[in-house]
Structure 1
Amino acid sequence: MSKTVEFYFDLGSPATYLAYTQLPKICERTGSQLTYIPILLGGVFKATGNASPATVPAKGRYMFQDLDRYARRYGVPLKFNPHFPINTLMLMRAVTGIQLRHPERFAAFIDCLFKALWVDGRSLDEPATVAAVLTENGFDPNEVLALTTDEQVKAALKDNTEKAVQRGVFGAPSMFIDNQLFFGQDRLDFVLEALS
């Protein structure tokens, strides 16, 4: 019986970006399913009293050096976003909305946003930049914006975030296999082990 990885993610986390580049390969290799669950990392931090490692200057400097090491190991591009940290509320509502209303476009949607943030270093805090990125990738910015104000979409993101905290999530990326939590892109070897 194939296992499932429940991947709790927020676009604003560079560690989550790295996990996102590796999890599909891991799941393909092990014949496992990958389920994407968008959450609001700011909401998780608020509920758990956690904070970004970047709020501690020495830890933040180390974190980005370490993430760069992992990007080289994985053979994927990673650029420190000069606009970090990014307020992802609207982005994660958009992600949730696309997942709910246009699941066939979900992969392409998160691909273009992860790339804009962690490869191209674009400022997705700015509505004009978000609109440009969406247009460049074949999405209608007005349609996506409408999703971010949809009450069902807003409630779904809030619900995902609350349920994540109830399950023990305190940051991103967080992955569950059979109700066992694995936190951080540097724990993917344990994810692979649990799936094998």
Structure 2
Amino acid sequence: MSKTVEFYFDLGSPATYLAYTQLPRICAENDSALIYIPMLLGGVFKATGNASPAMIPAKGRYMFEDLDRYAKRYGVPLKFNPHFPINTLMLMRAVTGMQLRHPERFPAFIDCLFKALWVDGRSLDEPATVAAVLTEHGFAPEDVLALTNDETVKAALKDNTETAVKRGVFGAPSMFVGGQLFFGQDRLDFIEEALR
């Protein structure tokens, strides 16, 4: 692998979901490694003074229409989650814990959560719904909950988030190729150019 794409992500971002559906193919076609780096988008927003574009009604309406256009272009399902915005602190701790403790199950884990949020429109703010989603996909909710309370896992997510901010990240998805930052799933063509 000659190059890498560092993918800073938070499950709660629909644009990040779209990038997630495309980056593995882009990296495979360009003989590049894809490195997933979970971060807490709320922490990034707080540190940078940024906010979700969905908080501005007109911009939010446009953003979801535009994301729908991209989903159609990519040929992937996307459904606006009626529970948006989702507080992702516990989810992102779980993701970080799975990456650290059970890396072999990490791809299936984030896949089931992205699908639950952005295809099935489920409320992952509710512990019972999270437990149901995990059980449906062969994960033990009690084991995942234990990961979210692991101090090493909490510290890793915090460190990832702080590192993202230090590197200039202000939102999600954010991707680095070498030292170059690319923000937004609508910048994937620039990532492909950088990898070439």
TM-score band w.r.t. shorter chain: over 0.9
Cα distance, 1:43 vs structure 2? 0.0
Distance 1:99 1:164 in 2: 17
The amino acid across from 1:49 in the alignment is: G
How far 1:20 sits from its partner (Å)?
0.1
CA-CA distance at 1:179 after TM superposition: 1.1
CA distance in 2, matches of 1:179, 1:164: 12
Runs of 4+ in 1 over 3 A off after TM superposition: none
Matches within 5 A, 1:75-94: 75-94=75-94
Alignment of 1:113-124 (within 5 A): 113-124=113-124
Give the Cα–Cα distance (whole angstroms) in 2 for the partners of residues 69 and 177 of structure 1: 26
Query: Aligned residue for 1:102?
Result: 102
Q: Residue in 2 aligned with 1:159?
A: 159
**How many angstroms apart in 1 are the aligned matches of 2:165 and 2:179?**
13
Query: Equivalences for 1:1-196 in 2 at 5 Å?
Result: 2-196=2-196
Describe the SS at the equivalent of 1:87: coil
CA RMSD, aligned part only? 0.5
TM-superposed CA distance for 1:143, in Å, is 0.2
Structure 2 unmatched runs, 5+: none
Distance 2:4 2:80 in 1: 31
- Superposed CA deviations along residues 126-173 of structure 1, whole A, max 9, x for unmatched, are 000000000000000000000000000000000000000000000000
Question: 1:171 aligns to what SS in structure 2?
Answer: coil
Counterpart secondary structure, 1:45: helix
Aligned residue type for 2:115? K
**TM-score, with structure 1 as normaliser:** 1.00
Q: Distance in 2 between matches of 1:78 and 1:192?
A: 23
Q: Structure 1: 5+ residue runs without aligned partners?
A: none
Calculate percent identity across the aligned residue pairs.
86
Q: Structure 1 CA distance, aligned partners of 2:165 and 2:41?
A: 10
> 2-side partners of 1:179 and 1:6: how far apart?
10
SS of equivalent to 1:34: strand
SS in 2 for 1:6: strand
2:145 counterpart SS class: helix
Cα deviation, 1:34-57, whole Å, max 9, x if unaligned, reads 000000000000000000000000
Q: Report the number of matched residues.
A: 196
Task: State the AA in 1 paired with 2:96.
Answer: T
Question: Structure 1: which amino acid aligns with 2:132?
Answer: A
What is the TM-score of this pair, normalised by structure 2?
1.00
